[in-house]
Structure 1
Amino acid sequence: MEPNKVQSEGGLNVTLTIRLLMHGKKGETVKKMREESGARINISEGNCPERIVTITGPTDAIFKAFAMIAYKFEEDIINSMSNSPATSKPPVTLRLVVPASQCGSLIGKGGSKIKEMRESTGAQVQVAGDMLPNSTERAVTISGTPEAIIQCVKQICVVMLESPPKGATIPYRPKPASTPVIFSGGQAYTIQGQYAIPHPDLTKLHQLAMQQTPFTPLGQTTPAFPGLDASPPASTHELTIPNDLIGCIIGRQGTKINEIRQMSGAQIKIANAMEGSSERQITITGTPANISLAQYLINARFRDVAAMWNDPSSMTTS
């Protein structure tokens, strides 16, 4: 994007994209917002508790869309308070998703920019210290009255126009809502409350997928960012997967396998089908962290498919 001389009100009609994290389904509201603001508003698909809302358009359309979102959130807060004994109204909170390369400009030297934003708008602004999982984006949380939030978004847009992102951005993708699963002694258990419940379907899939795979406990998989764990040497891991399940790993036109490659940082090769064999060999190459993350993602894919088997109505979404 060309550097723009931006007025303090951010009044130049420059096309800009702002990403926002939201919870729940707000389909009807979004339709109305599109019509009234003139901005392009897209909501990420999938059964995730978190959705990414992408708002694109001239700056004034973006501000209109944000004003509508902020007032809608305030309305939701007021409605939810009518049933609660609390008397003080909590602030409206929005979470933007911003490329990490632009966060330095938002914070400013020694925090000067963010302090100026807080003081001039009255909104609370916080930039997360860590990047969102498997991405190069950070969450920027803004809270306050709808008016304060709108002023703050205007200032953030100005900074983002003046300091475009550097290098490639890996966008944050929310994870589907899934019950935590633990694999122990070759059995799969789902966690419900404080109990681990044996899950026969997942166990079957798990045994198929992990015939030769020592599985890393879920909590130990760390997303590998280039350069952060350059020290462990690359190693190779192989697993065998039945032919009839390979499609769910590859996905339509290779979309799923490419996603797993990108998120894990591992190289993944799938051998061609051998005549007379009902199985395919998958070879994963990378650091131990890359490999365990790739295994986890392949495993998660089997979990999604198992869930679809249990709930045939969701088959069309795969």
Structure 2
Amino acid sequence: MNWFSLLFQKGETVKKMREESGARINISEGNCPERIVTITGPTDAIFKAFAMIAYKFEEDITNSMSNSTATSKPPVTLRLVVPASQCGSLIGKGGSKIKEIRESTGAQVQVAGDMLPNSTERAVTISGTPDAIIQCVKQICVVMLESPPKGATIPYRPKPASTPVIFAGGQAYTIQGQYAIPHPDLTKLHQLAMQQTPFTPLGQTTPAFPGLDASPPASTHELTIPNDLIGCIIGRQGTKINEIRQMSGAQIKIANATEGSSERQITITGTPANISLAQYLINARLTSEVTGMGAL
């Protein structure tokens, strides 16, 4: 067994685990709500590292219950990341293999039906006592050794956590933990957009004066985005692009994919300030995706 990965909700000091297990334990970097912990080494070392992590999780649960009114202790839960091509063997014909693992170890095992975002891997969730989890992992390892992955595996990489942006008192702030941090660049662009975007209260209309237009003429700007990055601009069900439209005041249209083209065209229409703010927000999303900074 060369390596195994699990999803891990918070960072841990692993020096002691490395020394005592003899396994290499690496934790992925980045401002992400999930971290990937990769364990490499001989099979025995991997199992020992898993045991230490499972018992550490149980210790954290016990400690958290000391300040809680809950009477029953929740099970330890780990999420393994497994190539999708191996999940069939893990489930077995008619679910026979996964049923056998559940019954023989006492652990609850669930294999996700869908692949993790932008990868060819699926999550396998294991819940139970530390001893049940260790036995379960051992059996899963045996199955994976007997049925190697087929084809290339695209590993799952958690996306950086997006940082909320709020506007208050004419200033822009990014939320980091419990604090609102002033964002001078975004503030400047937002103020320009507000100065040049007419605001009409609900139920009122702006009087029309012949030959006088209170707002600057709209202009159009076009840019191209690689197909593999357009998803981070659009967001789930269009949430991100709608946020950018609302924050910038610009009209933003994304062209449909063209056969044979690796790029998508984005057309931004509005005042110069609207367009500048929209471009800034789009670039922030791209920077977050490419560098893992999670800027917006």
- Give the shorter-chain TM-score range: 0.5 to 0.7
1:315/1:149 CA distance change after superposition, 3 Å = closer
**CA–CA distance in 1 between the matches of 2:158 and 2:15?**
22
Q: CA deviation at 1:17?
A: 3.9
Maintained 8 Å contact 2:4/2:38: yes
Cα gap change, 1:191 to 1:315, in 2 (>3 Å):
closer
Q: Distance in 1 between matches of 2:176 and 2:142?
A: 46
1:67–1:218: structure 2 CA closer, same or farther, 3 Å change rule? farther
Change (3 A) 1:139 1:198: same
1:10 maps to which residue? none
Q: Could you list the per-position Cα deviations for residues 163-191 of structure 1 after superposition, in whole angstroms to 9, with x for gaps in the alignment?
A: 11111111110111113579999999989
Change over 3 Å in CA distance of 1:116–1:245 after alignment to 2: closer
Unaligned runs of 5+ residues in structure 1 are: 1-15, 303-309
Structure exhibiting the larger radius of gyration computed from Cα positions:
2
Alignment deviations for residues 128-180 of structure 1 (CA, whole Å, 9 cap, x no partner): 11111111111100000000000000000001101111111111101111135
- Give the total of aligned pairs: 295
**Within-5 A mapping of 1:36-47:** 36-47=20-31
TM-aligned CA distance change 1:133 to 1:66, over 3 Å: same
Q: Is the 8 A contact 2:160 2:293 kept in 1?
A: no
Aligned-residue Cα RMSD (Å) equals: 13.3
Structure 1 pair 280–72 and aligned structure 2 pair: CA distance change class (3 A): closer
Compare 217-226 and 174-183 and name the one that shifted more: 217-226
The partner residue of 2:111 within 124, 127, 146 is: 127
1:128 and 1:138 in contact (8 A); partners too: yes
Residue 280 to residue 83, structure 1, CA distance change in 2 (3 Å): closer
- Structure 1 distance, partners of 2:96, 2:120, is 23
Deviation at 1:33, TM superposition (A): 0.6
Shift of 1:79: 0.3
CA distance in 2, matches of 1:259, 1:101: 37
Verify the 8 A CA contact 1:208 1:241 in the aligned structure 2. no
Contact 1:221 1:293 in 2 (8 A): no
The answer (yes or no) to whether the contact 1:134–1:263 under 8 Å persists in 2 is no
Q: Is the 8 A contact 1:102 1:164 kept in 2?
A: yes
Structure 2: segments with no counterpart, 5+ residues:
none
The residue number in structure 2 matching 1:207 is: 191
Q: Name which of structure 1's ranges 237-246 and 125-134 shifts more when overlaid on structure 2.
A: 237-246
| Contact 2:189/2:273 (8 A) holds in 1 | no
1:65 to 1:242, Cα distance in 2 relative to 1, 3 A = closer
Superposition map of 1:158-173 within 5 A: 158-173=142-157
Segment drifting more, 182-191 vs 281-290: 281-290
Q: Deviations over 1:85-137 (max 9, x none)?
A: 11111100000001111111110011000000000000000001111111111
Moved over 2 A (4+): 16-23, 25-29, 179-238, 240-302, 310-318
State the 1:239 CA deviation. 1.4
Q: TM-score, normalised by structure 1?
A: 0.57
The answer as to whether partners of 2:116 and 2:122 remain within 8 angstroms in 1 is: yes
Distance 2:210 2:38 in 1: 27
Please report how far the alpha carbon of residue 260 of structure 1 lies from its aligned counterpart in structure 2 after TM superposition.
19
CA contact (8 A) 1:221 1:289 kept: no
Q: TM-score, normalised by structure 2?
A: 0.61
Contact 1:37 1:65 in 2 (8 A): yes
Q: What is the Cα deviation at residue 269 of structure 1? A: 20
Q: Deviations over 1:5-64 (max 9, x none)?
A: xxxxxxxxxxx24443444x8666311111000111111011112100000111100100
Which residue of structure 1 aligns with residue 10 of structure 2?
Answer: 26
Contact 2:234 2:241 in 1 (8 A): yes
Q: Go from structure 1 to structure 2 and tell me whether the alpha carbon gap of 1:248 and 1:178 turns closer, same or farther (over 3 Å shift).
A: closer
CA drift at 1:225: 54
Structure 2 residue matching 1:273: 3-state secondary structure: coil
**Distance in 1 between residues matched to 2:42 and 2:210, nearest whole Å:** 35
- Answer with 126-135 or 281-290: which moved more: 281-290
- Within the candidate set 4, 21, 35, 2:19 is matched to 35
Please identify, of 144-153 and 184-193, the stretch whose mean Cα deviation from structure 2 is larger: 184-193
Structure 1 residues 198 and 116, CA gap change in structure 2 (3 angstroms): same
